[in-house]
Structure 1
Amino acid sequence: MDKVRDPATKYAIYVATAVLVLGFIITLVRNGIQILADATFWLGLYGWLAAGIVVGYLVYLGLRILGWRSSEEAEPNVVDTSGVIYRAIAPTATERGTEAIATRSKISAGELPPWEVADLPAPPPFSFNNAIALIGPGAILLGTSIGSGEWLLGPAVTAQYGGFMLWIATTSIILQVLMNMEFIRYTLYTGEPIYTGFMRTKPGPRFWAIFYSVLAFLQLGWPGWASSAATALTAMFVGDIPGPEHAETIKAFGLFWFLSTVAIVAFGAKIERTMEVVQWFFVGAILLFLVVIALGFTAPETWGRAAMGFLRFGTIPPNVDWLKVGGFAAFAGAGGVLNGTLSNWFRDKGLGMGGVVGYIPALIGGRRMSLTPTGKVFPLTTENKKRWREWWKYAITDQYGVWVLGCFLGMGLPALLTLQFIPPGTRFDNQFAIAVYQAQYLSREDTTSIMWFITLLVGFWILYSTQLGITDVFARMVTDMVWSGSSHIRAWRGGDIRFVYYSILSLFTLWGVFILLSGIKPFFLILLSANIAGLNFVFLGLHALYVNRKFLPAELRSPLWREAIVLLSVVFFGFFFCQALPSIIGQFTQGG
């Protein structure tokens, strides 16, 4: 699929390019040629790139509905009684070479043990009901990401800058989903998380296991979500906006709910399934509340202001707080290593070759499960390629139909409430009330205290669901890397991966308790995590492109236009991190 042989894809690329060029011309005409010397002009082109991707994808879907197909997809197959599939025309030289690996039992792949060879499991026929049954990783990622970006940083940036920066969310979400699909591409082919793929590259698994574990720790090792959720509970408890005098109460609530996330992932037969059920509940309840409030309490002109904010590409107000805006850019979707862990959930869900390698079971209620340390790949037979295209449809549905749509709803609805109720220019400076601002202003429209308590409760669940996902993500990510990279770890406790997972989770828990007891301000913990996530996108994007280029067959690799966008994504997130870095250093020197 490296070459554009599909006419629908070709014309979609033409349309997307036209939108980008049109945006370039419009901005140039509106501001004059001198705008070329302004960095915000080039940053704004990322917004037009995102718009081009969306419009191009809609064109692609329309042409596919009208029946535009590549010649490969339209080719008839003839099946004999032995079950071997033959093509109606002679196979190409590439296919003859790739089908030859079906006679080999293993394939060498980098610095880890070789892959075994097996046929790609057949997915159920693509339909709405089957899609509902199979999707789920996108919901877990959405529940994990909706807290800090959508409920905290989004409203904080929107209140301070009046919605003019929402275009950054548009750009970030679109760029992130394309990066997500590269992680998923590797997992569908190998049954391995993308982090295992990273470990297959030089200098070897030990180096990359340590490297990405450190990156994960730097991003996720700050339990700011539990601490921020505790500010909402404290406000409910005291009946007012918390301040420094409530620091000990916030600390106690934060500790209790942080530890409860550990308890949740300990139960159930399969951790991925437990997370999926819990996060589906959280996401559904949260979005229902936001939709009801937005429809019932916001004016039509507010909807227009919010919509325009998502499209004001390149608008950067003066005196920008880059620490806040940089975090907003990274957390507008999910953020850094969270996106990479999506591939772990795809493996555990059993999608693609993930269906033949096993999953991580829960400690309580889960049976011992054999999780192979390395993946399995499939030969590029005609039938396997047909199955690949079906699995890819499910992956697209999970990401675009659940995650992207949920991200825009999760970002847009709180932005509506912020624009409607919070005065422009408001700064969220009270670190002990960071999850209370929405409730404070919403409750002014209510003569009773009902809106105050409901909004605080929803804010608590939003942040709590994020902390729950973070707790699982760190332990899952590090477990997979050490399990794949160390034979000594695999031999420990009889090869039961549950003990590895929960040992790492225990260390993470002890560190989280220490940080919560230290009294570091809740919102700074969120900002620190978010900006580190932006840095992590740089490493993840570049490494994923290299891994897929090196290890995936040419027909399954990403097309060049996708690779170019991932490279541009690296520049986008790297820019915001560099802008925020001086503020991060300054905050640490001042003690957080």
Structure 2
Amino acid sequence: MIPVTVDVGAEAVVTEVQRSSRTYPLGVSRPDLEVADLPTPEEVFRVSRIGPRQLVMFVVGPSLIALGISIGSGEWLLGPQAVGQYGFVGVGWVITVSALLQTFYNVECARYIVATGEVPVVGWGRVPPGKMLWIPLSAFIIIFAFIAGGWAASAGQGLFALVNGRVADPSEVQQTRWYAMGLLVLVFLITALARRISRALELSNWVMVGLILATLIVVDLIVVPWNVWWEGIRGFVTPAAPPAGITATQLGALAGFTALASGLNWYVMAHYRDKGYGMGHRTGYISGMRGGRRELSSVGVTFPDDERNATMWRRWYRLLMVDMWGVFFVGAMLGMLLPTVLMSQAVVLSGQQPTQANVPTFVASALQPVYGNGMFYVMLLIGVLILFSTQLGIFEAMVRVVTDALPAMGPRMRELVERDPRRFYYPFMIALLITISIILHLALPITLVQFSANMSNLGALIYPFMLIYLNSKLPRAARPRPWHYVILILNFLFFGFFFVNFVADLFGDPLITF
């Protein structure tokens, strides 16, 4: 018997749904998965058929939340700074390889969720030696990687400039931090006022990502000459040695935050469960404070190995591929190309190079003398939206990962969180908000972002192998093909190299210098 909550108006009615007594063993230290039929997409999204209109309105969503994070620190800060200083050739290919590998990796993370309804931080507990190691360690790695708050500090810089009509000088850095903290409070309010948190994030990113890409396309067509467009595109597809002077830490940060967060991308994939993809429909979601009480099962459900469910799995997998390759990958590549060609032209126009201190507002300042105050404010607004969409996704995901992890650790935590996750979710979000607000004072935003990006590469040394273990044990219809495992190993080699070099660089002896 699995508790399922059905929202009726403002009320939540808890019913019991009888499922098959069969279970499916998977891994160690966690209860066996229960077994039930895969729901149909039409049942989940409450439509009669899935056509192009329904695909856009109801099915696409988790990739937009990931894309809102993706078009952020890497695309607006690290990529443009690297291109502005060193050009496209030798830098662009790192962006392309990173985006391709990360999208493959995202699909494999989402595969496990769609097949079991369990989010990755819970699934890791099924990997030997078990939950007491992998679940708390994984939650700690996510917090440690992103708590530096560079994404928040950068958004604060942009918002200060937008409000005041000028870039903050060094004596005003504290005011930019206050703006950053205000934006953290805004994230809290967005989640608190939502009925269903994932849906609120989807709608927010529909607006922000759509406006960002549309505006950047128009501005780039006005500002950027065709030869710079060509250099950007050529740089993305031309393998070449990194340019002299760039550090492996800079390249590693660029690789880590291109597309999303390399080996730690799994921390955003829980939205496939909340959206109801596949077996996520059977395990629940985290509701907002305006939503009814919603139970969230910490033990997943998988499907029987029969023809009906194999056919249904293929349908869900096609929808996943559309969401990831058609929306996330295309959007991530545009999100990197458009700001980098714009930065390249801004360097030409200004005759200056972006620095760690001014990169969040460099383009706006460079375009102002040529195109006027209107362009200055447009670019500041786009910069704020880019960095706030990242802030929204990262901050919420940090809270979500810990909220999902706790019930899997034992009965006491399950009692605290599982019946109503909001009892932990919102107090922890407030505690995290205070902590990040303190850390913001420790370094320049771009330095904090580079730290987070290189820490993201740490995940590539661990989680590809855990995915191989878990996905190889799924029902046969859901298991990856052999070449998918090869791609996961390539993630380990590519991003893992940059992390090892980052650690060596911290001790003053990088493995490779350029």
Question: What TM-score, normalized to structure 2?
Answer: 0.89
Paired position in structure 2 for 1:479: 403
Q: Hey, what does 1:69 align to over in structure 2?
A: none
Alpha carbons of 1:365 and 1:460: their partners in 2 closer, same or farther (altered >3 Å)?
A: same
2:433 is aligned, of 509, 530, 536, to: 509
Which of 33, 37, 40 is the matching residue for 1:119?
A: 37
CA distance in 1, matches of 2:316, 2:161: 46
Q: Say whether the 8 Å CA contact 2:298–2:418 is kept in structure 1.
A: no
Alignment partner of 1:566 is 2:491? no
CA deviation after TM superposition for structure 1 residue 281, in Å? 0.9
1:5 aligns to what? none
2:338 partner SS: helix
Matched, 1:361 2:283: no
2:244 maps to 1:244: no
SS in 1 for 2:159: helix
CA distance in 2, matches of 1:382, 1:422: 59
User: Residue type matched to 1:475 in 2?
Assistant: V
Establish whether residue 465 from structure 1 lines up as the match of residue 389 from structure 2. Answer: yes
Look up the match of 2:52: 128
Q: Does 1:318 align with 2:244?
A: yes
Distance 1:397 1:493, change over 3 A: closer
Counterpart in 1 of 2:253?
Answer: 327
Residues 316, 337 of structure 1: alpha-carbon distance in 2 compared, 3 angstrom cutoff = closer
C-alpha deviation, 1:217, in angstroms: 1.2
Counterpart in the other structure of 1:429: 355
For the 8 Å contact 2:305–2:476, the answer to whether it is kept is no
Q: Deviations over 1:384-415 (max 9, x none)?
A: 11111110111001001110010011001111
Q: CA, structure 1 residues 344+456, in 2 after alignment: closer, same or farther (shift >3 Å)? A: same
Residue 583 of structure 1, CA deviation: 4.0
Equivalent-residue separation in structure 1 for 2:418 and 2:212 (angstroms): 42
- Contact 1:139–1:280, Cα closer than 8 Å, also in 2: yes
Higher-Rg structure is: 1
Q: Counterpart of 1:443?
A: 368
Q: Does 1:340 align with 2:266?
A: yes
SS in 1 for 2:367: helix
Match of 2:106, as an amino acid?
N
Alignment of 1:455 onto 2:373: no
Seen in structure 2, the aligned counterparts of structure 1 residues 357 and 481 have a Cα distance that, compared at 3 Å, is same
Percent sequence identity is: 32
Note if 1:107 corresponds to 2:24: yes
Maintained 8 Å contact 2:63/2:323: yes
Render the CA deviation track for 1:203-240: whole Å, top value 9, x for unaligned.
Answer: 22122121101110121111111211111222334443
1:276 shift after superposition: 0.7
Counterparts of 2:418 and 2:221, CA distance in 1:
56
Farther-moved stretch of structure 1 (499-508 vs 272-281): 499-508
The answer to whether the 8 A contact 1:180-1:342 is kept is no
**How far apart are residue 503 of structure 1 and its match?**
3.0
Partners in 1 of 2:319 and 2:417 — Cα distance? Answer: 36
**2:476 corresponds to 1:554:** yes
Runs of at least 5 residues in structure 1 that lack an aligned partner in the other structure: 1-101, 588-592
* TM-score, normalization by structure 1: 0.78
Match of 1:498 in 2: 422
Q: In structure 2, give the amino acid aligned to 1:487.
A: P
The alpha carbon displacement at 1:478 in A equals 1.3
The answer on whether the counterparts of 1:322 and 1:579 sit within 8 Å (CA) in structure 2 is: yes
Mapped contact 1:159–1:426 kept (Cα < 8 A): no
Question: Does structure 2 retain, via aligned residues, the 8 Å contact 1:141–1:338?
Answer: no
Structure 2 contact 295–418 (Cα < 8 Å) conserved: no
Seen in structure 2, the aligned counterparts of structure 1 residues 586 and 513 have a Cα distance that, compared at 3 Å, is farther
Per-residue CA deviations over 1:301-321 (Å, capped at 9, x if unaligned) read: 111111101011133112222
**Secondary structure of 1:249's partner?**
helix
Aligned residue-pair number: 481
* Secondary structure of residue in 1 paired with 2:24: strand
Matched, 1:532 2:449: no
Q: 2:150 matched to 1:224?
A: yes
Alignment of 1:176-187 (within 5 A): 176-187=102-113
Distance 2:116 2:134 in 1: 19
Larger RCO, structure (CA 8 Å, separation 6 or more): 2
Task: List per-residue Cα deviations over 1:319-345 (Å, max 9, x = no partner).
Answer: 222222110001111004652034310
Q: Does 1:395 align with 2:320?
A: yes
Contact preservation (8 Å) 1:336, 1:540 = no
CA deviation vs aligned residue, 1:59-78 (integer Å, no higher than 9, x gap): xxxxxxxxxxxxxxxxxxxx
Letter aligned with residue 499 of structure 1: R
Counterpart-to-counterpart distance in 2, 1:195 and 1:239: 43
* Contact 2:296–2:418, Cα closer than 8 Å, also in 1: no
Taking structure 1 as reference, are residues 529 and 293 closer, same or farther at Cα in structure 2, changes over 3 Å only?
same
Q: What letter matches 1:465 in structure 2?
A: S
- Displacement of 1:421 in angstroms is 2.4
Deviations 1:401-447 (CA, angstroms, capped at 9, x unpaired): 1100100110011112122221399543242x23111111122321x
Amino acid at match of 2:451: L
Structure 2 residue 61 is the aligned partner of structure 1 residue 140? no
Change in Cα spacing, 1:559 to 1:314, as seen in structure 2 (3 Å) is farther
Which residue in 2 is equivalent to 1:378? 303
Q: Answer yes or no: is the 8 Å Cα contact 2:399–2:425 preserved in 1.
A: yes
2:97 is aligned with what amino acid?
Answer: T
Q: CA RMSD in A?
A: 2.0
